[in-house]
Amino acid sequence: MIAIIDYGMGNLGSVKKAFDHLKYDSVITSDPAIIKAASGVVLPGVGAFGAAVENLQVKKLDVAVREVAEAGKPLLGICLGMQLLMDGSDECRDLWANEDPLPGLGIIPGRVKRFPDSGLKVPQIGWNKLEDVTGSLLSEGDYVYLVHSYYCDPVDKSDAAAYVTYGIKYCAAFERGNIFATQFHPEKSGEAGLQILSKFARRTAR
């Protein structure tokens, strides 16, 4: 069973429908016990970084996600869920400047940054092509759907599994051991996205 974490912010229904379409069992839940018992976990997300961190903490889901990661179970972050796996975000710029900034989950070292002014519209909304793909869940040249104003900048560039260019070339997915994440929405990325979710689901059955 794949647990899709409900912390009050996310494309929960769309992600579940995608797994249903692929014939994989999944459940939307905010119960830490169910999350920790699942064979794989998805951390989705749409919205503001600060509010998401607060919601996770209030529901004790931040602890559950870290325990899943440490246990070696497959964990997939999607969009804001990818950003939450990092150390912190410039979306909380004022807090980050303090000695005690509002952190992310700190599972993948790095920082979430806002797109620089390049003349392009922010947020980036629409389809774009994956580049320099190295991640096992991804296929070279896939077009995927993105909606975001911030991007992940991992400390260890070997964590990056694919890039996208939008004014700048940035990390659009990362992979480290049992940890996977996509800035794009695989549940909205057509056949390419379904293939990614299917590959992830197959890993949960190992």
Judge whether 185 counts as a catalytic residue: yes
- Please state the three-class secondary structure of the chain as a single string: CEEEECCCCCCHHHHHHHHHHCCCCEEEECCHHHHHHCCEEEECCCCCHHHHHHHHHHCCHHHHHHHHHHHCCCEEEECHHHHHCCCEEHHHHHHHCCCCCCECCCCCCEEEEECCCCCCCCCEEEEEECECCCCCCCCCCCEEEEEECEEEEECCHHHEEEEEEECEEEEEEEEECCEEEECCCHHHCHHHHHHHHHHHHHHHCC
Q: Which residue in 70, 91, 185, 191 is the catalytic one?
A: 185
Judge whether 70 counts as a catalytic residue: no
Q: Which residue in 79, 92, 152, 171 is the catalytic one?
A: 79
Judge whether 67 counts as a catalytic residue: no
Q: What angle separates helix 61-71 from helix 49-58, to the nearest 10 degrees? A: 90
Q: Which residue in 91, 92, 148, 187 is the catalytic one?
A: 187
Which residues are known to be catalytic?
Answer: 79, 185, 187
